[in-house]
């Protein structure tokens, strides 16, 4: 059964206009004129996104969406109101987990964008929950398409992180969860505009504030998908800095989860050694010295030292090879024989 979109409004003209608009985009809608009708539809349909007016006869839209938090927690909720009401907006966010709060009269492109983004969010959560490796990797690669400069980034970060974690002697299941978290560490960017992701210059203050939200947005997706704590920690905390100047929480030192400190090293090194929209790549030797200079500031010194011992020169192995899940290919004898150096106690 395919996931569907539901509009709830006591104004039948608005419902008909919504039906016409979304059908023109190839999206069929379910409709209801009140909360009771809408709740009955949830008994028979998988609803990915619900858009509800707030002021309706009987149960208000806010109360209806609050009920959905219990009944259908994965459904992406959008509340629409004709009035600017800060108290209602805050209640919607805090009590109903509303994804967007829009004002009437909404613009056609605005409502199309919000619903389509909601559908992507719902599909992302469902894919993550299955923890199917092929699906998770494909999902990460799809997110990368929003920023062409990061093609292959999630795979490389996973390999670097696994090299570190394996050398530190972490358990096999932890390694697997580090792989998942590395693949999905930037999943919150699904909500970031391509204009910000693909800009040719440095971000301005407002753009950077928006960009920083991707860690919390990604962690929210991971929470809904019921991913492991290891994966969630990576997604939320991979931009924390060892000296406490990072985000989103400004954690310091060992207060930052170990797996996030590992991925932070991998993430920064890969960013330095690949082309970005605002600069070219650095040579591997230059990048090594640059990350070394971050020891004790952005990066955990002990993890950084392990990384500098195990990072290979030349082609990377696959994550499956690091985990010992496939027989390493020698690639015509050109692939180096990787010896992982155990971290000293």
Catalytic annotation present for 189: yes
Q: Per-residue DSSP letters for 75-120?
A: SEEEEEESS--HHHHHHHHHHH--SEEEESSPPHHHHHHHHHHHHH
Residue 246, number of CB atoms within 10 A of its CB? 21
d(CA 200, CA 193): 14
Residue 6 DSSP symbol: E
* Cβ–Cβ under 8 Å, residues 239 and 261: no
Query: Do residues 56 and 8 lie in contact, with contact meaning Cβ atoms separated by under 8 Å?
Result: yes
CA atoms within 13 A on the CB side of 33: 6
Q: What are phi and psi for residue 48, nearest 5 degrees?
A: -80, -40
State in Å, rounded, how far the first CA of the chain is from the last one: 53
Q: Which of 179, 189, 224, 241 is catalytic?
A: 189
On whether the CB atoms of residues 269 and 234 are closer than 8 A, the answer is: no
Return the active site residues. 189
């Amino acid at each position: 059964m395919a996931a569907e979109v539901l509009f709830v409004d006591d104004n039948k003209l608005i419902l008909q206009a919504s039906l016409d608009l979304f059908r023109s985009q190839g999206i069929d809608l379910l409709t209801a004129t009140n909360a009771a009708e809408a709740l009955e539809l949830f008994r028979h349909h998988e609803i990915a996104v619900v858009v509800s007016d707030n002021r309706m006869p009987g149960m208000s839209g806010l109360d209806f969406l609050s009920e959905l938090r219990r009944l259908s927690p994965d459904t992406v909720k959008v509340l629409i109101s004709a009035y600017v009401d800060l108290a209602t907006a805050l209640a919607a966010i805090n009590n109903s987990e509303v994804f967007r709060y829009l004002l009437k009269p909404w613009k056609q492109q605005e409502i199309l964008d919000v619903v389509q983004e909601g559908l992507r969010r719902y599909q992302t959560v469902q894919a993550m929950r299955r923890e199917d490796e092929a699906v998770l990797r494909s999902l990460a690669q799809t997110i990368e398409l929003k920023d062409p400069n990061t093609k292959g980034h999630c795979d490389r970060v996973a390999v670097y992180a696994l090299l570190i974690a394996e050398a530190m002697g972490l358990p096999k299941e932890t390694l697997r969860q580090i792989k998942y978290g590395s693949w999905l560490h930037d999943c919150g960017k699904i909500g970031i505009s391509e204009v910000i992701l693909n800009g040719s210059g440095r971000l301005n203050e407002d753009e950077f504030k928006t960009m920083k939200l991707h860690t919390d947005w990604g962690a929210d997706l991971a929470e809904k998908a019921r991913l492991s704590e290891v994966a969630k920690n990576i997604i939320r905390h991979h931009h924390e800095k060892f000296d406490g100047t990072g985000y989103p929480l400004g954690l310091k030192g060992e207060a930052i989860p170990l797996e996030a400190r590992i991925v932070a090293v991998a993430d920064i090194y890969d960013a330095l050694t690949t082309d970005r929209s605002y600069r070219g790549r650095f040579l591997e030797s230059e990048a090594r010295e640059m990350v070394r200079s971050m020891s004790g500031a952005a990066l955990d010194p002990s993890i950084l030292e392990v990384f500098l011992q195990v990072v290979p020169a030349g082609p990377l192995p696959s994550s499956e090879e690091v985990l010992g899940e496939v027989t390493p290919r020698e690639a015509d004898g050109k692939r180096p024989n990787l010896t992982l150096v155990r971290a000293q106690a």
